[in-house]
């Protein structure tokens, strides 16, 4: 469904969001260990997310990645997916045809639209606030 990049990115951001309440920054080392992802690769992904203002970072000692608690309800999963995987999930034709749309639909066009709309709405309606609220639970299961 998502690329590895996007999967790691989502997991990392959810983890960082869970630390937002304590206002603590987390280093890449801590993050990649917590979410069980390759460290250097995850660092690259977080770099992208930082550039795109999804998360923030500070270099040097006591530095790390963080998210302003007040923004937790502003950041939806769709924002993260958009940065890392673009909008191919929403827009691409299920059969890979370039010119597939309402006026020139592939044989499956309208069936796919329904599925994709559901996915889109789900990602748009799920914010980091929601995912970071039940910290203990989410925190635990994020590792498995």
Partner DNA sequence: TTAATAAAAGATAAATTCATCTTTTATTAA
Partner DNA sequence: TTAATAAAAGATGAATTTATCTTTTATTAA
Q: Which residues form the interface with DNA (CB under 7 A)?
A: 3-5, 8, 26-29, 38-41, 43-44, 46-47, 50-51, 57-65
Minimum CB–partner distance for residue 64 and a second copy (Å): 22
Q: Taking the CA of residue 133 as centre, how many other CA atoms within 13 Å lie in the half-sphere pointing to its CB?
A: 7
CA pair distance 68, 99, nearest whole angstrom: 41
Binding letters toward a second copy, positions 48-67, x by CB under 8 A: --------------------
DSSP string for residues in 83-137: HHHTTHHHHS-TT--TT-SSSS--TTHHHHHHHHHHHHHHHHH-BHHHHHHSHHH
Residues 109 and 93: beta-carbon distance below 8 Å: yes
Minimum CB–partner distance for residue 23 and DNA (Å): 14
| Closer by beta carbon to a second copy, 33 or else 58 | 33
142 near a second copy, rule: CB under 8 A: yes
**Contacting residue, 11, 65, 79, 80, with a second copy by CB under 8 A:** 11
Minimum CB–partner distance for residue 120 and DNA (Å): 20
Q: Report CA-CA distances (Å) from 98 to 77, 88, 93, 110, 115.
A: 26, 12, 7, 15, 19
**Contacting residue, 44, 57, 82, 108, with a second copy by CB under 8 A:** 108
Element (H, E) at 58: strand 56-58
Interaction site with a second copy (CB under 8 A): 1-2, 4, 7-8, 10-11, 14, 77, 89, 92, 94-100, 104-108, 111, 114-115, 118-119, 122, 126, 131, 137-138, 141-142, 144
């Amino acid at each position: 469904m998502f690329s590895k990049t996007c999967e790691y990115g989502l997991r990392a951001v959810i983890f960082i969001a869970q630390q937002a309440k304590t206002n603590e920054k987390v280093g890449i080392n801590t993050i990649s260990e917590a979410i069980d992802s390759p460290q250097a690769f995850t660092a690259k992904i977080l770099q992208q997310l930082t550039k795109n203002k999804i998360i923030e970072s500070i270099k040097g000692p006591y530095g790390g990645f963080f998210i302003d608690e007040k923004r937790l309800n502003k950041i939806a999963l769709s924002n993260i997916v958009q940065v890392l995987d673009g909008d191919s999930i929403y827009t691409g034709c299920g059969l890979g045809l370039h010119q597939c749309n309402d006026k020139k639909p592939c044989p499956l066009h309208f069936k796919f639209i329904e599925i994709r709309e559901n996915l889109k709405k789900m990602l748009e309606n799920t914010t980091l606030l929601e995912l970071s609220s039940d910290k203990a639970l989410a925190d635990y299961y994020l590792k498995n």
